[in-house]
Amino acid sequence: MRSWLVALLLLSSIAMAQEMRLPPETARLNQMAARFAPVDIRVELSGMPANERQALASLIRAARLTDALFMRQMWAGNEALLLRLLEDTTPLGRARFDYFLVNRGPWSRLDDNAVFIPGAPEKPEAGNFYPVRATKADVEDWIKGLQGEDHAAATGFFTTIRRDASGKFAAVPYSLEYQGELAEMSRHLRDAAAATATAPPMTLAASRPSAARVLSCDEAAFRRLSAVTVATTAADSYPSSSRSSGSMIFFIFFHPSFNLCLNSLQ
């Protein structure tokens, strides 16, 4: 028993010594990240039919695409910054990269969104749903001049506001703004539908070819899939942005941060 205590104390002392040798900024970021406790949430999949396991794997693949969309909706520079952080293999670079992934951006959520990466701007209040340097007054004045469907599109939950070639504001539907990712998501959702094509079938319903498809299936299969996916995501959530994304449905229920082993789902 005494030898175990000595070993634990020794390991603790070594860890503290290593932390003290780190540059101050690296140690600070590591301490900030340590406030988040990783949770390994496991689910029992052995009772699921093979085709539903295959469908679940496709749903998770579709969900992972929303992680990139979420980061882009937070700030237009998120993706470029992530690629730059990947190139920095120093201890400080790793610390910044790790904490960036935790926060899905260069702002510390537990510290009133304080910037922790040099050169990053303050967190945009309106995210990346409006043109850079567009003021709230400018957008509101533009919306006041719209009528009917144009007004509905500009104030809806499934559009972004951009500038056209002439510099004027224009409403862009998600189906165009994120068409590449939505097309890839649709492919995975079709695969999920095909995997559960036995009676009673899981079917795809689509309002337009370029839009993300919505899955519908028999209640028993839906409950089994939902129980697994919700169990893997219940401990993690993000604050909502000023606009809610249609693709965020998949982000909430199939969040990729909790990694289910896809090999076990084949």
Please give the backbone phi and psi of residue 53, each rounded to the nearest 5 degrees, phi first: -65, -40
Question: Can you give the pTM of this predicted structure?
Answer: 0.65
* In the chain, domain spans: 50-67+177-265
H/E element holding 173? strand 169-173
Tens digits of residue pLDDT in 121-144: 999 989 999 998 899 999 999 999
Tens digits of residue pLDDT in 21-45: 778 999 999 999 999 988 888 888 8
Query: At residue 161, what is the residue type?
Result: I
How many helices (H) and strands (E) the chain has is answered by 11, 6
How much is the pLDDT for 12? 53
Cα-Cα-Cα-Cα torsion 255, 259, 263, 266, nearest 10 degrees, comes to -20
Tens digits of residue pLDDT in 146-188: 999 999 999 999 999 999 999 999 999 999 999 999 999 999 9
How much is the pLDDT for 223? 43
Mean pLDDT, residues 40-53 taken together: 88
